[in-house]
């Protein structure tokens, strides 16, 4: 994890006092300088990432925020709102969706035609930003 040592991360996972959150956060609440961790709320890291990107743009920092989320969060309203705000305000953020198979969707096997097809990621410039 960026900004934290392997020893501190393992200590956090084991609930030890020398962990990055003093053993109180576990795997879902690891926060160190420059890394805003995970959340116990599905999809909450997406608007947090948009907020971090807004702060970076406001402070004129030449940086980009990466906000990663799982496929189970893809239907959350706050995710769509964060996408919209990031696009409208041209925020320096990259949203990445991982198909970790925790989302409740129909069986994606080849025999099931009701599952949406996955498209490969392609980035194209859009008004100076990137759009997936």
Locate 11 and state its tokens: 């200590």
pLDDT in tens, 98-116: 877 766 655 556 655 554 4
pLDDT at 105: 57
pLDDT at 91: 94
- Give me the residue spans of the domains in the chain: 8-38, 41-102+118-132
Share of the chain above pLDDT 90, in %: 20
pTM score, whole prediction: 0.65
Place of tokens 């980035």: 123
């Amino acid at each position: 994890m960026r900004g934290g040592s392997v020893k501190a991360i393992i200590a956090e996972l084991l609930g030890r006092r020398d962990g990055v959150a003093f053993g109180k956060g576990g795997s879902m609440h690891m926060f160190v300088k420059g890394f805003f961790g995970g959340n116990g709320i599905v999809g909450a890291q997406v608007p947090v990432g948009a907020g971090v990107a807004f702060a970076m743009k406001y402070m004129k920092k030449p940086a980009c925020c990466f906000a990663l989320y799982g496929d189970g969060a893809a239907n959350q309203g706050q995710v769509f709102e964060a996408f919209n705000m990031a696009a409208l305000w041209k925020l320096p953020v990259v949203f990445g969706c991982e198909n970790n198979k925790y989302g409740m969707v129909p069986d994606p096997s080849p025999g099931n035609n009701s599952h949406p097809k996955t498209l490969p990621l392609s980035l194209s410039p859009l008004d100076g930003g990137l759009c997936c």
